[in-house]
Amino acid sequence: MIISTKKGTPLQELERIIKNFECMGLQVTLIRGTDYNVFGLVGDTTKVNVKDVAANPWVDQVTRVSAPYKRANRLFHEADTVVDVNGVRIGGTEPIVVIGGPCSVEGDDQICTIAEAVKNAGAQMLRGGAYKPRTSPYAFQGLGTEGVMDMVHARKMTGLPIVSELMSADKIPEFEENVDLMQIGARNMQNFQLLKEVGKMSKPILLKRGLANTIEEWIMSAEYIMAAGNDNVIFCERGIRTFEPYTRNTLDLSVIPIIKEKTHLPIIIDPSHATGNYRYVEAMSLAAVAAGADGLIIEVHTDPEHAWSDGAQSLRPEKFAQVIEKCRTVAAAVGREMY
Ligand code: PEP
Ligand code: MN
């Protein structure tokens, strides 16, 4: 971090600033100029808040040289992290993982039928929401515990590990016991209390990008989970809000190389919520694989027209199988395998 102070800053003030940073365990180098003074801070500056430093009226400019995150940072952890989800490995040079399933669990028959179908189509994991973050309080809110237990039954039948959204800390014991991969939804990406709590869990976390969050904010949310003790974080891009109404969200595929450059964690793409339309899911899946995604999470339903949520963006199992087959060709072209 580099800090410059204003012309005429009193010596006492310079000494006070230096002492402050030294008390934080940082090494401070002062370069004295005729008019301006510049400080260089060396050490773990993740605890230093740029805005707090800039609040000092004698401070002119504050520049962060390193990123504000440490545990997620590729600089301090060169090798790719591979996350193991109940036997399915995601990240690094592992094969690309495909997760399929309905937006919402609608009952035991529905989830078991779809689980068999996504397995036969070539998926390695089953998704299904039991607690749903709906925009309207009058919309279906999910089957709750019953839905989780239906997912457990579907796992028993198919052997597919299960992913489901955890919306509140009070359900952590239920999820710790039953779910393999905890989804933190877009709307909860900055629910810091929840992030701290899931950071204490022993199960891996699927961290979706917030509706309107920057990449740095997203990485900082992963940092929250990791700082609380859980290093098994997988990023999931699901599209961000833009001015464009033809798609539900705008899929930002540039995050793949950026997340891989800045962090060592795996990243998967959700083309279903990104587009909101089943017609565009195939194209975006192929593009995601071409861009280096470690996996895909796709909504699949046997009867999309009557789905209790997100039918418009759900693929029928036959189409889902075709998408996976096409992805294989693209994966091979970019030197990746698929399970
Ligand atoms: C979902 O996966 O069904 C979901 C609600 O996703 P998101 O949090 O990305 O909107
Ligand atoms: Mn959905």
Q: State in Å: Cα 3 to ligand 1 middle.
A: 41
Indicate whether residue 129 lines ligand 1 (CB < 6 A).
yes
Compute, in angstroms, the gap from residue 266 CA to the centroid of ligand 1. Answer: 18
- Residue span(s) of the chain under CATH 3.30.70.1140 come to 2-66
The pLDDT-based confidence of 220 (bands split at 50, 70, 90) is: very high
Distance 105 CA to ligand 2 centre (A): 11
Q: CATH 3.20.20.70 residue ranges in the chain? A: 83-333
Instruction: State the distance from the centre of ligand 1 to the C-alpha of 78, rounded, in angstroms.
Output: 31
Specify the pLDDT at position 34: 87
Residue with tokens 């030294």: 22
CATH of domain 83-333: 3.20.20.70
Mean pLDDT value across the chain: 97
Whether residue 35 has pLDDT greater than 90 = no
Q: What is the pLDDT of residues 158-200, one digit of tens each?
A: 999 999 999 999 999 999 999 999 999 999 999 999 999 999 9
Q: How many Cα atoms occupy the beta-carbon half-sphere of 279 within 13 Å?
A: 3
Classify burial at 271, counting beta carbons within 10 Å of its beta carbon; exposed 0-12, middle 13-18, buried 19 or more.
Answer: buried
Q: What is the pLDDT of residues 137-167, one digit of tens each?
A: 999 999 999 999 999 999 999 999 999 999 9
Average pLDDT over residues 101-130: 98
* CA proximity to 283, closest of 243, 242, 326: 326
Residue type, 267: I
Q: Among residues 64, 48, 54, 66, which one has the least CA distance to residue 6?
A: 54
pLDDT above 90 (res 65): no
Amino acid 21: pLDDT: 94
Say how far apart CA 322 and CA 300 lie, in whole Å.
Answer: 12
Using alpha carbons only, give the angle 78, 268, 189 rounded to the nearest 5 degrees: 90
**What pLDDT digit, counting tens, does each position of 278-307 carry?**
999 999 999 999 999 999 999 999 999 999
- Please give the average per-residue pLDDT across 225-235, as a whole number: 98
Q: Which two tokens stand for residue 127?
A: 């998704």
Total residue length of the chain: 339
Predicted local confidence at residue 52, as pLDDT:
93
Q: Using the predicted structure, report yes or no on whether residue 332 has a pLDDT greater than 90.
A: yes
Assess contact for 218 and 240: CB atoms under 8 A. no
Point out the least confidently predicted range of 18-27, 168-177, 220-229.
Answer: 18-27
| Closest alpha carbon to 41 in 16, 58, 65, 60 | 65
CATH 3.50.50.60 fits 2-66, yes or no: no
Query: Would you say residue 66 has pLDDT above 90?
Result: no
Mutate to test the pocket of ligand 1, among 208, 297, 310 (most ligand atoms within 8 A of CB): 208
Is 208 near ligand 1, meaning CB less than 6 Å away? yes
Distance CA 124, CA 294 (A): 13
Structure tokens at 60: 């002119």
Residue 47 has pLDDT above 90, yes or no: no
Q: Whose CA is nearest to atom 6 of ligand 1?
A: 185
CA 337–ligand 1 middle distance (angstroms): 27
Rounded average pLDDT over 115-119: 98
Q: Is the CB of 133 under 6 A from ligand 1?
A: yes
**Residues 6+ away with beta carbon under 8 Å from 162:** 125, 126, 127, 128, 151, 152, 154, 155, 178, 179, 180, 181
